[in-house]
Chain A
Amino acid sequence: MTGFRVPAFLQAISAWIALAPVLVFMLAFFVLPAIGLVQISFYPHTAGTVLTPGFTLAHYAKVLTDPFYLSKMLLTLRVCALVVFFSLLLAYPVAYVLVRGRFAGKGLMIGLLLSPLLTNFVVLVFSWILLFGPGSFLMKGLQPLFGAGFKLLYSESGLVISLVHVAFPYALIPVITAIAQIDKSLEEAALSLGAGPWKTFFLVVLPLSVPGALSAAFVTVTIVLSSFAFALYIGGDSVLIVPLLIWQAVRDTLNWPLAAALSVSSFLVIFALLGIGMHLAGLTRAQRRLA
């Protein structure tokens, strides 16, 4: 019996056939609009109109030199950095215990930890508003400790706390994967050589899981920048991170070109920083390879 043979020309283009639907979709709904966005960011802004074709660098100059916008850009970077830091700080011990530990109910534990993934963002936002709001049991408990002026709603700490909660499961998964790939005998070797548990973690586990930590950071930053509902309702006007500035420019001042310029520049800055981080991690590995 002779099997059905795929014609050669079909074989040659089969990879493209498989990719085509997604490519077309991305081109139509992401690449082209993104190009449009970049284009709009160069349009001049005229009060009273939304879009006036033209070319100006004024919005970029404003975003990158105006102290107000610069400080908000730094604030955004700081919120990203804090959320990444605390997410990883929480994710590492949990991931380590889940990978190395042997205990009953491990599956249930993982399910519990990942459950925020299944909860609607809007539900999460309103839960945090209630929790941080005046008169909540949390605030009643905390205010005697930190003074009556202490608040979490409409504050940077509150925003960071709630974002860490959202980002944590997303950060946990890559860290689990990275730790699971580390051979346990490496840790035993370190212990037998006299490194205590802490040194073993910092000298062996942590450096070997850097790729996982970087992808966790990448996902976390993406979440911070896209969890607009959190920025709007938990940080509010007190924590004007870039997504909120964009929202204001689009809705309140109708300065769409400025919104586009903010969007493009924050994208470039943040992903350039992450890219440098990944490059450095990759570079040190490559250097060790060559040395």
Chain B
Amino acid sequence: MSAIELRNLTKSYGGLPALQPLDFRVEDGEFLSILGPSGSGKTTLLRMIAGFITPDAGSITIGNQEVSRLPPERRNLGVVFQNYALFPHMSVLDNVAFGLRMRGIGRNERTARAAEALDLVGLSGFEQRLPRQLSGGQQQRVALARAIVIEPAVLLLDEPLGALDLKLRKRMQIELKQLHHKLRRTFIYVTHDQEEALTMSDRVAVMDKGRLLQVDPPSIIYARPRTAFVAEFLGESNLLPGELRQTADGGTVFVGQEGLVVALTTGQGEVGLGKAALAVRPERLRLVPVDAAAAIKAVVETVIFKGPWLSLVAHGAGARLEVLLPNDGRTFDLVPNVGETVALGFDNADVRVVEAAT
């Protein structure tokens, strides 16, 4: 009932496109993250759903209602802002009850419901405080309570944890996830933090330069990035330059530099023949005996001990390669020295072909 459907949504500012025509659907009750660097259009998209920006073209449907021409106050959405945007002249209780007051709900009922919402975010007993008497984390909880108490169709969150310190952020990530589970409402969460997006979301939508690049569940978007940008923005990726070629028997191979040839099966990429790049995650590379076939020969440049991991930086196959080796009690015996040549192996299923870096 509260699914969101975006169709052909477009916006440009003074001829500069802020949002390329964009289509996608957010399912009812889904936790969707919109991930992208600053300037990617993710905040524009969120503000458009909220009604603060009018799209040049396209439609936004929430539930069964077309809302793209409705003012924000008539969309029944909860919005949580990065700077919390609590009303500084109102008590915590009045802040949370504000939306109920706008809906004409009587004082007793709105006080009760606001208190309930504050309890849900763990802030009972803070009703009479002023926002400035609260810490950043507490203010964010008030902002959350204020947004959910009106029982919105959809909760829009614009980098809500951006101003918090790392430890509090991690805790709030988990709390938000639990809150989502408890409320079973649609959450749209804008962030530039890939780890946050992976931790919390049912699906992640990656945006760059006003374009939507990929929408998939975290594990899939991580394992099967469609573009070099997605591969590099979500986690680390090694991108090996090369070419995609057809073999005599109709198969496809990736031919890299320094004699690297990788046979591919269908579904490992969406680029045509010609220049391309092979993406492989650092943790999917491993040390193999030097004489192994289909391995990348690389010269070790740096070795960094990271506790549970050992990180290698090496040069081979025309690229700078990062390798993460697990501290599992066996691998470390094989750790090479700086300057040594090693062979890095991988399973053919672990690589993706993406468009060549420009």
**Which residues in A have some Cβ–Cβ distance to B below 8 Å?**
183, 185-186, 188-196, 199, 203-204, 207-208, 285, 288-289, 291
Contact = CB atoms under 8 A, between A and B. Distances in A.
Interface in B44-84: 50-52, 71-79, 81, 83
5 contacts: A189-B86, A191-B51, A192-B72, A193-B146, A196-B73
Among all A-B residue pairs, the 4 with the closest Cβ atoms: A193-B99, A194-B102, A185-B85, A192-B79
B81 A189 contact: yes
A291 B128 CA distance: 6
Contacts of B31: none
B311 interface: no
Interface of B: 50-52, 71-79, 81, 83, 85-89, 91, 98-99, 102-103, 128-130, 133, 146-147, 150
A191 B50 CA distance: 10
Given A207-B89, A288-B89, A291-B128, A194 B83 contact: no
Nearest to A290: B130
Contact of B52 (A188, A196, A285, A289): A188
B89 A193 contact: no
B87 A289 contact: no
Contact of A194 (B88, B89, B103): B103
A285 B88 CA distance: 10
Contacts of B87: 186, 189-190, 204
A188 B47 CA distance: 10
Given A183-B83, A192-B50, A288-B130, 8 more contacts: A186-B88, A189-B87, A191-B52, A192-B51, A192-B75, A192-B147, A194-B99, A195-B102
A192 B150 CA distance: 10
Nearest to B158: A185
Contact of B77 (A192, A196, A204): A192
Given A186-B85, A188-B85, A193 B91 contact: no
Contacts of B150: 193-194
Nearest to B99: A193
A195 B89 contact: no
A208 B131 CA distance: 14
Contacts of A289: 130, 133
B73 A195 contact: yes
Contacts of A207: 89
Nearest to B146: A193
Contacts of A199: 102
B83 A291 contact: no
A190 B146 CA distance: 10
A229 to B, nearest CB: 40
Q: Which of A183, A190, A191, A195 has the most CB of B within 10 A?
A: A191
A194 B85 contact: no
Contacts of A191: 51-52, 71-73
Nearest to B130: A288
A87 B162 CA distance: 42
Q: Which of B74, B98, B130 has the most CB of A within 10 A?
A: B98
Contacts of B85: 183, 185-186, 188-189
Nearest to B88: A208
Contacts of A285: 89
B102 A188 contact: no
B83 A185 contact: yes
Contacts of B79: 188-189, 192
Nearest to B82: A185
Contact of A190 (B71, B91, B98): B98
Nearest to B75: A192
A39 B88 CA distance: 47
Nearest to B96: A193
A24 B116 CA distance: 63
Nearest to A192: B79
Contacts of A183: 83, 85
A192 B130 CA distance: 21
Nearest to A186: B85
A208 B87 CA distance: 9
B91 A185 contact: no
Nearest to A288: B130
A289 B129 CA distance: 8
A285 B249 CA distance: 81
Given A193-B146, A195-B73, A204-B87, A188 B98 contact: no
A204 B102 CA distance: 13
Contacts of A185: 81, 83, 85
A197 B84 CA distance: 20
Nearest to B152: A192
Given A199-B102, A207-B89, A208-B88, A192 B83 contact: no
Contacts of A193: 73, 98-99, 102, 146-147, 150
A285 to B, nearest CB: 8
A208 B89 contact: yes
A218 to B, nearest CB: 21
A204 B72 CA distance: 16
Nearest to B103: A194
